[in-house]
Structures are given as structure tokens and as C-alpha cells.
A and B are shown apart, each in its own frame.
Chain A
Amino acid sequence: MEDVNNLKILSLGIFGAILFGLSLFFLKKEFQKYTRWIFFFVLLFFFGVVLFVATAQDPIFAPADWSRGWVLPRDALGAITAGFLVDAQAFLGLFFATALTALLGGFLSIRADTPSWARVIPSFLVSLGGFSISVTALTPWMVFIGFFISVFGGAVVLGAKWKTDADSMLGVRFAWERSSGLFCSIFGACVLAATQPPLLLNHQVAGVEPLGGALLLLGLFSQFQSFPFSARRLAQRQVPLVASVLVAQVLPGWAVLFFLARFEPSLTGSTIVLVYGWISLFSAVLSTGEGLFQSESPRGITIWVSAGFAFASALFAFSGAQAGFVWGLGVGLGGISLSLFAENGRGQKTEKKTVNKQNNGLLVLISSFLSCAAGTGFLGFVSSIGGHQWFTQGLESAPMAASFSVALFCLAFLGWKNFFQLNRIQSGPTVPLVTAVLSLFVVSLSLSVFWDGTLFGGVVLEGADSIFPSILRKIFIQLRPIAQKSDMAIVASGGYFGIALFAFFTAYWGFGRKRDVLSDVAKKFVRMFGVVSDGYGIDRLFAGALRFLIFISERLYRRIDQVFWGRLLPAGFSRIIEKGSQVITVIDLRFFVRLSAALRGAVELPAKALQLIQNGNVQWYLFFAVASGIAVLLNFLKG
């Protein structure tokens, strides 16, 4: 009972944060100066609620869940259930996301040059609320609510300058793409619920219906914005890059990975998951291809983050939730950290060539290096645990090892390309110390020692480097163990880190020196690389499909609705009625004439006879008298 009350308090806290975030959008201009205070107050309050609920559990962080029928009774066929589940995993997500939101929101709110901060900062709260619902949800339906709230927050951030066409288009397109994906997921969940109610995330669904599972995963995958979607649009000059990376990419990406981690027991062994893994891997590789040809590093970073999350979901499919989750952590934190610099204008092509001694170049270099390392599974970062685990497993199958190697190389190559691109151009404005320190702090959270308690993630020293107890083992206690000791461990480690290093040096060769090799190649094959950098023409294909759809629907509407129903049919009806009445009138007239003639004919003869009788001529009277006498006589003679 106490657990249930705690859950209710937590849910109130989450919805309170969302409502406060929403109400901040409607603050009048004179009150907008209080936005940042309200923001911090709400975050503090929310953090307090989470802390209270976590410590009130007996024992501390103990799992608790609560559910009830939302649509139809809880156990009825077709029921949709609402519920919350808090466990170590959920608390970790809540604490971590709240802290990050506070840090980055605070950073943006104290910066005077943050554009549209009165909309950006509240949307942080809304997104945090959405994320919190997703990670504490017991049912997929609650997860979807969380996602939709996050999508709303993301759309507001991306379209924060609603007054420009480009921004509004960006925000709405983002909302549309993500919502369409979520509708797919909802559809999939409905299909699953049709066969096995209630759909709870702490209960294994036996025999996942293929179509339902596929649609569910497809919708979730779309939240990463990896190929065939494109994340390059998320890097909009008008919006602080770190805001769009956090709200539109990292928080939704983590929420998806949390959901997958909870749903994993139901999906294990299913063919859908393997297909999903291959699709994710393929998508990650194609996305990195697109990212490599971006001339501006903010776009490269957003694409890299998306590809990283797609890679994480491939890891999830092949090596389990924990592998995917840790990779996602590294990518998310690395992406946030790197985006802090890109928003300062570094890495963007500009004519200005001013070398500023006070731009904290060394710190930026170190921090951005660590960020890329975190996002590409370098030794010592939490992401390396997942990557290494998969590589070890993959060695048992040549196609898998080859695919993984290619994907890892591409991802790492793009990451390092971003790093070199960011640091090669010394032309941006000054990077404040606070930005560099914040970036360093964020990326330090992705060190394996923080999550696994080991210096190198237990990858090379097989646990001998353990310093603290592992948080990962606590939150993934029911799932697969992290490192699977294998005879091939040395080969795996060598191969895995060899690929990572190879990617680094290749990127250095390509971008780290004065000459940008890839750019030179791209200039020679403008058309081909233009298509790749433009997301493989998917946008154009999509726009063409939409134009075709509009064309078809307009034609159909004109032909069927306007011409047939609007003109031809009414005209036809009135013509039928008109002609019909004319024909009937003619028939009626002719009939009347003939009837009159017949009547006249029938009446005229007796009338003539009567007229003759009555004309007063005696001979006719005599004739009728004699004739009548003869007739009477003949009648009697018969008898």
C-alpha cells in the first residue's frame, strides 16, 4: 500500500513538472524573466520527489508497481492498462535525466544569447516529464504518452522561432515524423493487446505476434531519426544545438532503450528482433555515410548521434538490452558534450579567420576527444562494454563479425571526423570556460568507472580493474551478464579496439590534416555525393510521393466529387426528370387526343340517332314506330 502511495506521489511529481512546463509557455512577456527561477524550482521539487520516493521504498530502490485498467477492466480481452513501475533502472533514469536537464537548462538560461529561451527552457521541463513517464511506465501505453509529450517538447525546441517558415516547418516535420512512428508503435501494441491482455512490461508476453512486434519496434526505431529519416535537419542555426540534441535525440533515444530493456524478455529469441537488429545496423551505416559528407559539423554531430542510437539498438538485438543501453549512454553523453562546442559556431564554415587565444582550445580539444571516444566505444568508456560484448559474440559468425566491423568503423570514422572538423577550424567565437568545463563534466559521466566500477569496463583485465560496485549489474540484474569470458577474448579485444583505432587514424588522414580528403573527393563527384549528403534522396523521394498523392487525391476529388457528384449526377438527375416529364406529357397528350376521339366516336352515333328522333320530322317517328312494332312482333313469333 505504501509503495502504491509512493508511486502516486511520483506520478503527481511528473505530471506537475509537465504542467509547470506547459504553463511557462503561456507566461506573459513581463513575467518571462521569472522563467528560469520557476524552471529551477520545479526541477528541485521534482528531484526531491524522486529522492523521497526512492528512499521511502523498503528496502531502498526496491521495485514497486501499480496498474489498473485504463480502457476496459485490467484483465479483459482488449484492455488497455495504465501503470507505473519503479525500480533501480527507473530511479537511475530519473536522477540522471533530471540532473542533465538541470545542468543544460541552467547553462542555456544563464547565457544571454540563447535564442527563444523562454520557449526552449520550458520545453526542457516538458521533455523531462515525458521521459520520466516513459521510464517509469509499466505498460507500453504509458510509454507512448511519455513519448508524445517528449515529441511535443522536441517540436517546440526545434520550432522555437515559430515566426519563420523554416523553423516552423522543421518543428512540425519533426513532430509529424515522430508521431507517425509512434502511431505505428501504438498500432503494434494494439495488435499485441488483442491477443494477450494485459500488456505489462514486468510480465513476459508469450509468443509475440509478428506484425504487432514488428510495428512496435518500427515505431520505436523511428524515434532515433536514423536512416531513412534524417537527423541533419535537427541542427538548425536558430536553435542551440545542445538543446535539440538533448530534447529531440538523447532523451527520446534513452527512453526507447529503457523500453527495449524492459520489453527484452518478451522479444528474446524472436525472429523480429534479429531482423530489427540488421535493419538498425544497415540504417546506422547509411546514416554515417550521410554524416560524412556534411560540410557543417552540427549536422555531422546530429547524424552521428542518430546513427549511434541505431547502432545501440542493433546491439540490443544481437547482444541484449544491457549492451545496447551502455552504448546508448556513451553516444548520448558524447553527443551532448560535443554539441556544446558546435553551438558556439566552431566547425562551421566561415570566412572569419581570427585565432583567439582565450578560446580554451586545449580544454575543447580534450573534451571533444573524450566525447568522440565515448560515443565510439573507446577503451575506458561505458559504451566499450556493449561494443566489446557484441564483437566477442560476433566472432562466432563471420558475416556478423564483418558487419559489425564495418558498422563500428563507419560510426567511429564519422565521430572522429566530427572531432577533427570541430577542432581544425579555429575561426569560431570564443568558447567560454563554463562551456568547456560543462562538456568535460558531461562526458566524464560516460566513463566506465562511473557505471561499472571498473577502469576499462572489465574488457581487458577481466574484472581485475574493478574499483566500485557496478551500477549496471544492479539495474540489469535479471538480464545477461556483461562480459562473457571467452577463449577468443584477446582476439576480440584486439580486433575491436583495432577497428576503433583504425577509424581514428583514417579520420586523421582524411580530416585531421590541412587537407580534407573526403571533401576533395566529394567535389569531384558532386552529383553522387550530393545525393548521399542529402540523405540518399529520401527527402526528394518522399516529397515526390507526397506530390503524387496530392495530385492523385486532387484529381480523384475533382473527378468523383466535383464533376461526378457535383455536376454530372445532379445534371443527369434533373435531365432525367425533365425529359421524363416531357415524355410523359407527350404521351399523356396523345393518349388524351385518342381517348377524346374514341369517346367522340362512341358517343356521336347514338347522339345522331337521338338527334334524328328528336328533330320533329314525322316520317322518322313513323319509321321508328313501324320498326319497333316489327321487332315486338318478331319477338313474340319466336315463342
Chain B
Amino acid sequence: MNNHFLSLMIILPLAGAVLQMGISKKMALAGFARWGALISSIAASLVGVVLVFSMDRQTPDLQFTESLSWVGSYAIHYELGLDGLNALLVLLVSIIFPVLLAAEWNQKTGLRGMHGLFLILQCAFFGVAVAQDLFLLFFFWGLSAMPFYFLVGIWGGEGRESAAFRSVVASAIGNCFLFAALILVYYSADPHSFSIRDLSGGRFSGKSFFFFGREILVSSAAFVLMSLGLACRAPIWPLHGWFSNVAKEAPPTVFISLAAVTVPVAIYIFVRLSYSLFPEMLLGTGNVIVLVGAANLVMGGIFAVAQKGLRLLLAFLCLSGVGLALIGVGSLQSAGVVGAVFHLLVFGLGLCGFGLFAGVIASRSGHSMFLKEQRQRSFGGLATVTPMIAVVAGVFIASLLGIPGFGGFVGNALLIIGSYSVHPAMVIVAGLALLLSTYFLFTMYRCVFFGEPNTALENFSDLTLREKFYFLPLVAGLIFAGIYPKPLLELVRPTVLTLLSTIK
């Protein structure tokens, strides 16, 4: 049924971005630009949230579907749909982008440009989430890479040019691999098609092609290319070098959109395509996926211990979180996969909150280093000066650690429950890495908020009304997801069960 609500959700931020171009400097100074951006972003988010909560939770089928022919001669369709796998992602994008726009409310340099680029990103991520045609998905995925180049290159720190360049090179390489995989899939299907629905159900089983005289299965080649392409952007260890560089140089909000949105979206694409298009490959490589996940988790944890700054800590937390999600994805158990999908939402919200907290600290002190070179504290005693920041940061850390009552607990517990029965050793490794994360997060919290107050920070102000406003949806979201996850899990479960049943 074509009711175009999903299109509306995608187009609204794009319209907002176009509007930014039409606003004169005078009007921008009067606040038209920021209000215009925020309103269009919130409007799109509202559409997204309403759509997600009005979904039928009993069915695994795609809902609110739209299908139009785009390039008929190549069977490219403008095909959209919402199901349990992408609903939480739509929710994540809906919550995060208005928050990021509100966080950049007082941006002094190139406000219109920055807000416009954020709106393009929102449009692109909504598009990736709901696209049901491989070409359309790639179109939006490609679209989401370019704004980062400008956002990092223009608004970043001292080494912004290098960071922006690395980010765009990594994205380009990743996109090349992904595109190669999609083209391979397209030409292997008979009749040629980009539609995920048409291509799903092991359409390439047994199909092969010759490469330098060697016979190669289409599904294995496409799966490897796709995985490599997404690993470049996710990022997966050891392909994460550009990511930590961007973490150092990018503005907090930009890095948040990279860590808290791009990464979950990349994992989503992997889940969507591998479960739909390459089920036999998934069955064969489940162990490898779990192994990669565990390696990510451990390396993220180890690198995080070495960090003295909040931004890099966030980057390596992200690396660990990706690892945890991959363990769930590779488990091929319903609880594990549901946990992974849920984890993407709560982990994204938690990272976003943590990143904004780092931004709040940096905006007041000029830096976000909680330890100096010799591991002495830079801050200290902020809990008494800024109790609201302490509470809000506490909530994000509690969720990232997986303390019961917060969203992170639900995701982590499901991942462990689902994965333990099939990969006990890897889950134990994951458990140890999670214990490690309690150390560095507790240490960071103590260094920033407790102990002898730093006299240089006496004028450190607590959260302003605007900051409270944008922290609220994140805190509320994490608490809601932790206390009452039922409606969200009910959305995910039927789709995951159906996908798993087709695989097995």
C-alpha cells in the first residue's frame, strides 16, 4: 500500500536542508535557520516515531510499503518498508538528529551549512533504514558518507583536513566493496533485480562465476565484499584507524552521528543483507562473525583503558559495542539476534548521550581530557558544582555498562542469553571485556565528578535549560527501554523469528 508516510519521513529533512540554502544571512541571524532546521527534523522524527508505534506487532511482514519504478530498464525501484529489523533504527535516527541540532544551536560558524548537512544525514539514514531496494539502499548509504567530509573538514579541530580525508577515503573504499557486491548480486539473479524481497531466500545458492580460471560462488564473493565494505565504515577492528582519528578531530555532534548512527546503520545493513540474501553464508560463517565481535570487544576494552580523553574513550566504547552486536548477530539464536537489534538502539542512545556529555564538558573547559599526561586528574569535584551533569552522565554510563533498569541491560542480557548456548567461550571473553569496561568507566566518572575540586573549574556551570531539553529524550529513552522494553521487543521478535526460520 502506497501511503507515502515513509517518503514524507525521508523528504522532510531534505526539504529542511534545501530551505537552509534559501535563507539569507540576515534571516539566519534572526534564528530562522536553526528553527527551520529543528522543525523539519522534529517533524520527520515525529512521522518516524508515529509510524513505528503504529506498526502491527504481530506480523513479520513489511509495513507502510511504497513501491515505484525508478529506472525501469535496470529494474531499479523506489521501494520502502518498515519491519521489526529496521523499526528501532528509525526510532534511533528520529531521536538523535533533533538532539544533535539542538546541541549545535549556538554554532557560530556556518550554522546554516552545518544544520543543512545534518539534515541531509538524517534524510540519508532514514533512507538507508527503510530502503528495500539494494540500489536505493546504496544510494542513501553513499549519500550519508559525503556530509561527514565537510562536517569534519570545516568544523573540526586542528587536524581536521587529514581526518576528513581519511574518513572520506575509508567511506569510498567501503562503498566500492559494497557496490561491487550489489552488482554481483544483481547480475547473478535471473531476472536481474535489486529488490531485497525478490532476491531473498537463497536465490544464489549454487550459482558461481569464474575468476582467473577459478570457480567462485556468487554468494560467498558477494558476502565477503559486502562484509569488507561495511567493516570499513562500521568500523571493525583492525580497520578502525580512521575512526579514532575522526574522534579526535571532529566536533562532538559530528562524531556522535558517526558513532551512534552510522555504526548501528552499518550493522543493520549487514544483518538485513546477510539474513535475507546470504543465509547459507551466514550459517557457515557464524563462528567467524562471533570471533570478530569478540576481538572487537576485547580490543575496544583494552584501548579504552589507555585513554585519557572522553572522545577517544567514546570511540573505543563504540568499537566494543559493535563487537557485542556482532556476537549476537553471529549467534543465529532468536534471543541473540533480537538482543543485537535492540542493542543497536540503546547503544546508539547511550553513545549519543556520552558524546554530548563530552561535548558539554569540552564547551565549558575547552577540552575533554579527564586525565593529564601522567594520569593526574584534569577535573575533579564536579558532582558538587554540576550535579545535573553528574546525574545525566551517570545514567548514560549505567546504560552502557548494562545496569538493570537501563536500556543497556536488556540488550546485553539478551545477547549473552542468546549467544552462550552456541558460543560459550566467546561469551565468556565478552563478559571479561565488559568487566573491563566497568573499570574504565568508573575511573573516568571518579576523575571527573568526585574528589578535590579543581579550583580552575569553580565557574563551571551546570546544564542550561536547552541542554536539559536535549538530554531529556536520551535519558527518558534509555530508562523507558530499560524498564519497559516489551513494545520495542515485540516489534523486533516476529521479523527475527521469521528470518531465522527461513535460515534454518
**Contact between A72 and B338, CB atoms less than 8 A apart:** yes
**Contact between A556 and B302, CB atoms less than 8 A apart:** yes
Residues of chain A lying within 8 A (CB to CB) of residue B434: 183
B98-151 residues at the A interface, CB under 8 angstroms? none
**Contact between A168 and B420, CB atoms less than 8 A apart:** no
The reply to whether the CB of A226 lies closer than 8 angstroms to some CB of chain B is: no
**B303-318 contact mask (Cβ, 8 Å, vs A): 1 or 0:** 1111100000000000
**A138-157 contact mask (Cβ, 8 Å, vs B): 1 or 0:** 00010011001000000000
**Contact between A148 and B305, CB atoms less than 8 A apart:** no
**Contact between A162 and B493, CB atoms less than 8 A apart:** no
B315-365 residues at the A interface, CB under 8 angstroms? 333-335, 338
Residues of chain A lying within 8 A (CB to CB) of residue B409: 186
Most chain B beta-carbon neighbours within 10 Å: one of A77, A141, A557: A557
**Contact between B418 and A194, CB atoms less than 8 A apart:** yes
The reply to whether the CB of A172 lies closer than 8 angstroms to some CB of chain B is: yes
**Contact between A69 and B401, CB atoms less than 8 A apart:** no
Q: Which of A45-53, A301-309, A332-340, A561-569 contacts B (4 or more CB under 8 A)?
A: A561-569
Partner of B446 from A72, A148, A169, A186 at Cβ < 8 Å: A169
Q: Which residue of B lies closest to A191 (CB)?
A: B420
- The minimal Cβ–Cβ distance linking B258 to chain A, given in whole angstroms, is 16
**Contact between A72 and B489, CB atoms less than 8 A apart:** yes
**Contact between A180 and B381, CB atoms less than 8 A apart:** no
Beyond A77-B335, A556-B303, whether A561 also contacts B244 by CB under 8 A is yes
The distance in angstroms between the C-alpha atoms of A56 and B327, with both chains bound, is 48
The distance in angstroms between the C-alpha atoms of A162 and B438, with both chains bound, is 20
Q: Which of B3-11, B65-73, B279-287, B447-455 contacts A (4 or more CB under 8 A)?
A: B447-455
Residues of chain B lying within 8 A (CB to CB) of residue A557: 302-303, 306-307
**Contact between A175 and B442, CB atoms less than 8 A apart:** yes
Question: Which 7 pairs between the two chains have the least Cβ-Cβ distance?
Answer: A565-B241, A78-B335, A168-B450, A553-B306, A553-B305, A190-B416, A78-B417
The reply to whether the CB of B201 lies closer than 8 angstroms to some CB of chain A is: no
The distance in angstroms between the C-alpha atoms of A569 and B162, with both chains bound, is 13
Which residues from chain A sit less than 8 Å from chain B, CB to CB? 26, 69-72, 77-78, 80, 141, 144-145, 148, 159, 162-165, 168-169, 171-172, 175-176, 179-180, 183-184, 186-187, 190-191, 193-195, 211, 546, 549-550, 552-554, 556-558, 560-561, 564-566, 569-570
Residues of chain A lying within 8 A (CB to CB) of residue B244: 561, 565-566
Q: Which residue of B lies closest to A72 (CB)?
A: B489
**Contact between A162 and B450, CB atoms less than 8 A apart:** yes
Residues of chain A lying within 8 A (CB to CB) of residue B445: 172
**Contact between B387 and A70, CB atoms less than 8 A apart:** no
The reply to whether the CB of B202 lies closer than 8 angstroms to some CB of chain A is: no
**Contact between A145 and B306, CB atoms less than 8 A apart:** no
- The minimal Cβ–Cβ distance linking B249 to chain A, given in whole angstroms, is 12
**Contact between A164 and B387, CB atoms less than 8 A apart:** no
Q: Which residue of A lies closest to B404 (CB)?
A: A145
- The minimal Cβ–Cβ distance linking B331 to chain A, given in whole angstroms, is 11
Q: Which residue of A lies closest to B241 (CB)?
A: A565
Partner of A78 from B240, B375, B384, B414 at Cβ < 8 Å: B414
The distance in angstroms between the C-alpha atoms of A193 and B413, with both chains bound, is 10
Partner of B306 from A144, A550, A565 at Cβ < 8 Å: A550
**Contact between A211 and B424, CB atoms less than 8 A apart:** yes
**Contact between B438 and A554, CB atoms less than 8 A apart:** no
Q: Which residue of A lies closest to B430 (CB)?
A: A187
A-B contact pairs, 26 of them (CB 8 A): A71-B413, A71-B486, A77-B335, A78-B333, A78-B417, A148-B403, A148-B405, A162-B449, A162-B450, A164-B451, A164-B452, A165-B380, A168-B451, A169-B446, A169-B450, A172-B443, A175-B442, A186-B404, A191-B416, A194-B420, A553-B306, A564-B241, A565-B241, A565-B244, A566-B245, A570-B166
The reply to whether the CB of B421 lies closer than 8 angstroms to some CB of chain A is: yes
**Contact between A187 and B431, CB atoms less than 8 A apart:** yes
Residues of chain A lying within 8 A (CB to CB) of residue B305: 549-550, 553
Chain B, interface SS category: helix
**Contact between B302 and A553, CB atoms less than 8 A apart:** yes
The distance in angstroms between the C-alpha atoms of A80 and B410, with both chains bound, is 9
- The minimal Cβ–Cβ distance linking A137 to chain B, given in whole angstroms, is 11
**B431-446 contact mask (Cβ, 8 Å, vs A): 1 or 0:** 1001110110011011
- The minimal Cβ–Cβ distance linking A391 to chain B, given in whole angstroms, is 38
The distance in angstroms between the C-alpha atoms of A194 and B434, with both chains bound, is 19
**Contact between B334 and A78, CB atoms less than 8 A apart:** yes
The distance in angstroms between the C-alpha atoms of A148 and B404, with both chains bound, is 8
The reply to whether the CB of B402 lies closer than 8 angstroms to some CB of chain A is: yes
The distance in angstroms between the C-alpha atoms of A141 and B416, with both chains bound, is 14
Residues of chain B lying within 8 A (CB to CB) of residue A180: 435, 438
**Contact between B421 and A195, CB atoms less than 8 A apart:** yes
**Given A148-B405, A194-B416, 10 further pairs, Cβ under 8 A:** A72-B489, A78-B335, A80-B414, A144-B404, A164-B451, A183-B434, A191-B420, A566-B241, A566-B244, A570-B162
Which residues from chain B sit less than 8 Å from chain A, CB to CB? 162, 166, 238, 240-242, 244-245, 302-307, 333-335, 338, 375, 380-381, 383-384, 387, 401-405, 409-410, 413-414, 416-418, 420-421, 424, 428, 431, 434-436, 438-439, 442-443, 445-446, 449-453, 485-486, 489, 493
- The minimal Cβ–Cβ distance linking A600 to chain B, given in whole angstroms, is 39
**Contact between A186 and B334, CB atoms less than 8 A apart:** no
The distance in angstroms between the C-alpha atoms of A305 and B395, with both chains bound, is 32
- The minimal Cβ–Cβ distance linking A577 to chain B, given in whole angstroms, is 11
Q: Which residue of B lies closest to A557 (CB)?
A: B306
Residues of chain A lying within 8 A (CB to CB) of residue B435: 180, 183-184
Q: Which residue of B lies closest to A179 (CB)?
A: B438
Residues of chain A lying within 8 A (CB to CB) of residue B380: 165
**Contact between A71 and B442, CB atoms less than 8 A apart:** no
- The minimal Cβ–Cβ distance linking A143 to chain B, given in whole angstroms, is 10
Residues of chain B lying within 8 A (CB to CB) of residue A172: 442-443, 445-446, 450
The distance in angstroms between the C-alpha atoms of A570 and B241, with both chains bound, is 10
Residues of chain A lying within 8 A (CB to CB) of residue B450: 159, 162, 168-169, 171-172
Q: Which residue of A lies closest to B339 (CB)?
A: A78
The distance in angstroms between the C-alpha atoms of A171 and B442, with both chains bound, is 11
**Contact between B486 and A69, CB atoms less than 8 A apart:** yes
Residues of chain A lying within 8 A (CB to CB) of residue B333: 78
Partner of B402 from A72, A77, A183 at Cβ < 8 Å: A183
Beyond A162-B383, A163-B381, whether A141 also contacts B241 by CB under 8 A is no
Residues of chain B lying within 8 A (CB to CB) of residue A546: 439
Most chain A beta-carbon neighbours within 10 Å: one of B238, B305, B418, B428: B305
Residues of chain B lying within 8 A (CB to CB) of residue A169: 446, 450-451
The distance in angstroms between the C-alpha atoms of A446 and B14, with both chains bound, is 71
The distance in angstroms between the C-alpha atoms of A570 and B409, with both chains bound, is 39
Residues of chain B lying within 8 A (CB to CB) of residue A553: 302-306
**Contact between B404 and A194, CB atoms less than 8 A apart:** no
Residues of chain B lying within 8 A (CB to CB) of residue A564: 241
**Contact between A561 and B404, CB atoms less than 8 A apart:** no
- The minimal Cβ–Cβ distance linking B388 to chain A, given in whole angstroms, is 9
Residues of chain B lying within 8 A (CB to CB) of residue A195: 421
**Contact between A552 and B302, CB atoms less than 8 A apart:** yes
Residues of chain B lying within 8 A (CB to CB) of residue A78: 333-335, 414, 417-418
Residues of chain B lying within 8 A (CB to CB) of residue A168: 446, 450-451
Q: Which residue of B lies closest to A554 (CB)?
A: B306
Residues of chain A lying within 8 A (CB to CB) of residue B334: 77-78
Residues of chain B lying within 8 A (CB to CB) of residue A190: 413, 416-417, 420
The distance in angstroms between the C-alpha atoms of A163 and B305, with both chains bound, is 25
**Contact between A72 and B493, CB atoms less than 8 A apart:** yes
Residues of chain A lying within 8 A (CB to CB) of residue B307: 557
The distance in angstroms between the C-alpha atoms of A560 and B485, with both chains bound, is 39
- The minimal Cβ–Cβ distance linking B114 to chain A, given in whole angstroms, is 27
**Contact between B241 and A187, CB atoms less than 8 A apart:** no
**Contact between B381 and A556, CB atoms less than 8 A apart:** no
**Contact between A141 and B420, CB atoms less than 8 A apart:** no
The distance in angstroms between the C-alpha atoms of A191 and B384, with both chains bound, is 40
Residues of chain A lying within 8 A (CB to CB) of residue B451: 162-165, 168-169
Residues of chain B lying within 8 A (CB to CB) of residue A565: 238, 240-242, 244-245
The distance in angstroms between the C-alpha atoms of A169 and B449, with both chains bound, is 11
Beyond A194-B421, A553-B302, A556-B303, whether A561 also contacts B405 by CB under 8 A is no
